[in-house]
Each structure stands twice: as C-alpha cells, then as structure tokens.
Amino acid sequence: MISDPETGSTDPWLEEASNVISKVSVQAQPRVLIELNRIARQPDVCFESVADLVVKDVGLCAKLLKLASSPMFSNGQRFDCVQDALMTIGFQEFRRCFLSVSIECFISKVGYPYRGFWDHSMQVASFCQVLAERFCPQHAFQAYTLGLFHDVGAVLIPMYNKSYADHIARALPLYFGITELEYALVKTNHCAVGELFARNWSLSEDILIPLRHHHNPKFDDEWSDTTRELKAILQLAELINDKIEKKSDTYTPFSQSKDTLVRICGVLGFGPQILPELEQDLLAALEGEK
Ligand SMILES: [Fe+2]
Ligand SMILES: [Fe+2]
C-alpha cells in the first residue's frame, strides 16, 4: 500500500485527495456511458438504440465524430453521422471512443493546466489496449480505461492547489519518486486523487488498485490476477511510451524501472528480449496500421 512516508498511515493521502475531489465538483459516470456498458454485456447490440442514446448531446457528438475519424479508430476515414461511425468501427471501438470523449469533455470543463496531459493519456491508453490484446485480451477494454484515467489526478490537483501546476509534467512518465515529492508539496498525490475520481465513475477495483499504485514498483500477492495484469500492462505501456517520447535508448532509466520490468515480465509471462518487437507494434498502432 502507498503510505505517508512520515507516519506510515494511508489516511493523509486520501483525506487531502477527497478535499481535491470535493473542490473540483467531480461528476459521476455519465448516464449514457452506464447505458453503453450495460448494452456491452448483452449478446446482441442494437446500433439504432446506441445511436439514439448518443446523439442527444450535440457538443459531445461533434467531438465523438472527430475522434472516431482519427487514425486511432478508423485509419482516418471521416464520419459525419454517428450511425456511420458505429457501423464502420463497431460497437466496442465506439464505446472506447465515447469513453475517451466523455473524460476529455469533463477535463476540458475544469480546464487544462497542462496541454500535454491529454495526448499522454490517449497514447498510453492506446498502448494499454494493444498490449492487453496480446497478453490478456479479455481485459483489453479495462486496460484502455485504466490508461485513460491513470494520470487524471494530475490535472485535478491544480484546481485545488495552484502551486502544483508546474509539477504536472513530472507526474506523467513512470518516475518512481513522484508520490513523495507530491506529498511534500500538496499532502496528497495524483494517484490517490485519480483513484477517487475513478471511484466516482464506478470503475472496478481491478482498475482502481493499479491506478493507485502506478508509480509503485511492487505487486501485492493479495491482488487478483486481473489487477496484477492490468498494473503490469499500464507500467509496460508507460516504460515503452517514456522511451519513445524521450527518444531514449533504454526502457529502464532508473534502478526501480529495472525492478519493475522484472515483475512485469513475471506477471505477463514474457522475456525482455521482445521489448523492441512490442515497441514496433505500439508505434504501428499509433500510425493506424493495426
Ligand atoms: Fe502518473
Ligand atoms: Fe502516465
């Protein structure tokens, strides 16, 4: 468990995190998203009723069509109506697209204190999806969701404490000392704040736990296999993403990244020699070559 470095207690992080969440008026998961998740559990999906649900929010629809027309979802094919997008990219991709736009709408309402945040979140989410499809395909949607939410706390804290805004960029890569630095600065950290935000959206514990521990090298034996796999997927996505973004020649710039990679390999069952191959897969996905 993450704990206060001074007292060993877990409470102070969460107490201050809940102050952040109440200050920025975090909303619950949008009703349409809840309904889409319910539809996803049914054996047959009625595209007409899905489109009817979504078109009610005109502002969101415009953003949805823009994202659906991006290389990430459709190799750049442009869509002017929800039905066309739904028919072409399929329901699961459409749901992923809608989730992304819903979070982006919320974040843009509270304001972007750091512009690189959304690009980072979308890229890591996309990498999580590709890696999960390879190692644990049954968790691909959860992995994408985790990638999308994992750093959201970093853009919420400045709404509560402006002094944090200059530090957001340090919370995004897989740097292991960040939670202690954040505690010294704002008496909480972006992982705890992000966990509370995601809890408001009723995300599962299998997502909340990896979100809370995404800057921690350890994997707890008591966690479920799904939790361990999702944490490994997120941290692997971040290790590769950091290498790409920094144009580095190593996946493990810190001693703790090396420890983490050993644990990731153990959880997902692969050897580090395939990392360059995984990186190529992720770069191809970025360019819409999936
Ligand atoms: Fe982070
Ligand atoms: Fe990140």
Asked if residue 76 has pLDDT above 80, the reply is no
Pairwise CA distance, residues 196 & 203, whole Å: 10
| Of 8 and 216, the one with more pLDDT | 216
CA of 204 to the centre of ligand 1 (A): 19
Angle at 120 between CA 36 and CA 151, to 5 degrees: 70
pLDDT of residue 216: 94
Same domain, 173 and 70: no
pLDDT of residue 290: 47
Asked if residue 257 has pLDDT above 90, the reply is yes
pLDDT of residue 62: 87
The whole-number average pLDDT for the span 22-42 is 84
Same domain, 204 and 258: yes
CA of 274 to the centre of ligand 1 (A): 25
For 99, the domain range is 45-110
CA of 86 to the centre of ligand 2 (A): 29
pTM over 0.95: no
Is 239 in contact with 281 (CB distance < 8 Å)? no
Work out the percent of the chain whose per-residue pLDDT is above 90. Answer: 59
Listed in sequence order, the residues at least 6 apart from 248 whose beta carbon sits closer than 8 Å to its beta carbon are 242
pLDDT of residue 28: 80
Give the confidence band of 283 by pLDDT, cuts at 50, 70, 90.
very high
Same domain, 184 and 92: no
Q: What ligand has the least distance to the C-alpha of 118?
A: 2
CATH number at 220 reads 1.10.3210.10
The domain boundary residue, chosen from 87, 110, 133: 110
Structural domain contains residue 38: no
CA of 153 to the centre of ligand 1 (A): 8
**Token reading at 255:** 């001693």
CA of 119 to the centre of ligand 2 (A): 10
| Of 4 and 152, the one with more pLDDT | 152
Asked if residue 5 has pLDDT above 50, the reply is no
CA of 178 to the centre of ligand 2 (A): 11
Asked if residue 70 has pLDDT above 70, the reply is yes
pLDDT of residue 26: 73
The domain boundary residue, chosen from 110, 127, 149: 110
Structural domain contains residue 6: no
Same domain, 279 and 267: yes
Same domain, 232 and 134: yes
Same domain, 119 and 54: no
Same domain, 118 and 258: yes
Structural domain contains residue 1: no
Residue spans of alpha helices (H) in 152-217? 152-160, 168-171, 178-186, 190-200, 205-212
**Token reading at 134:** 């390879």
The whole-number average pLDDT for the span 213-226 is 95
Asked if residue 97 has pLDDT above 90, the reply is yes
Instruction: Please name the residue that has the structure tokens 């935000």.
Output: 197
Angle at 153 between CA 71 and CA 245, to 5 degrees: 45
Structural domain contains residue 34: no
Same domain, 146 and 160: yes
pLDDT of residue 9: 53
pLDDT of residue 195: 94
Q: How far is CA 192 from CA 40, 115, 286, in A?
A: 29, 22, 29
Structural domain contains residue 168: yes
CA of 48 to the centre of ligand 1 (A): 38
**Token reading at 268:** 């997902």
| Of 2 and 83, the one with more pLDDT | 83
Asked if residue 244 has pLDDT above 90, the reply is yes
Same domain, 84 and 180: no
The domain boundary residue, chosen from 110, 125, 159: 110
CA dihedral 177, 180, 184, 188 (to 10 degrees): 120
Same domain, 192 and 262: yes
Structural domain contains residue 129: yes
CA of 176 to the centre of ligand 2 (A): 11
Angle at 171 between CA 168 and CA 177, to 5 degrees: 130
Give the confidence band of 172 by pLDDT, cuts at 50, 70, 90.
very high
Same domain, 180 and 65: no
Query: Tell me: the pLDDT tens digits for 99-122?
Result: 999 998 888 887 777 778 999 999
Structural domain contains residue 79: yes
Same domain, 165 and 89: no
Report the number of distinct structural domains present in the chain: 2
Asked if residue 247 has pLDDT above 60, the reply is yes
Q: Amino acid identity of 280?
A: Q
Structural domain contains residue 50: yes
